[in-house]
Amino acid sequence: MKSIKFLFSSLLCFLLINVNLLSYSSAAQAGDVYWPDDDWDVATPEAQQMNSTTLTEMYDFIKQYNLNFHSVLITRNGYIIDENYLYNAEITGEQKFNTTSSYMIRKNGSLHILYSCTKSVISLLIGIAIEKGYITSVNETIYNIFPDKWIYGDSKKNINIEDLL
């Protein structure tokens, strides 16, 4: 059953990403592309040529198969169309984050481990650091970046950024 849930989750993510990419492509060809700066405006699905019934069906599908989605954010043409947070396939509302650990505290008080999310953010930041020239590549050793802070001995001096990602 887990493999079926994973398959459905993967397929749903794939479809949502492709629908969003196709919508951006068609809007770009039309020449009237809005893109947010610091703030994202919110629009109804219909205002962005989407069907709100389809979104309702998506949430029904998630609930029916008890898919393990934690959040859904749908954008189109630079507008937020839908944003929801889920727990056990039920929409719960806003989440609170505990910034002192790798856990998200859910509205009902239960915890959700965020390790994979943290790796994604760290990978993004490493890419930015490489682009800005702060580090040369993921092959650079941690020792070369922080030689004055190194307390781990000679045996670990060859650990590079890629090893930690």
- 7 pLDDT band, cuts 50/70/90, is low
For the question of whether the overall pTM of this predicted structure is more than 0.75, the answer is no
**The dihedral sign for the CA sequence 57, 85, 92, 83:** negative
Domain locations in the chain as residue ranges: 2-94, 118-164
The region, left, alpha or beta by phi > 0 then psi within -120 to 50, assigned to residue 25 is alpha
Beta-sheet strands, E only, within the chain: 71-76, 79-87, 90-91, 96-97, 103-105, 111-113
- Average pLDDT rounded to a whole number, residues 1-6: 57
Residue whose structure tokens are 């039309």:
30
Q: Which of 61-75, 94-108, 124-138 has the lowest mean pLDDT?
A: 94-108
Report pLDDT for 159. Answer: 93
> Residue 20's CB: how many other CB atoms inside 10 A?
16
Looking at per-residue confidence, does 150 or 5 come out higher?
150
Q: How far is CA 138 from the centre of its chain?
A: 22
- 8 pLDDT band, cuts 50/70/90, is low
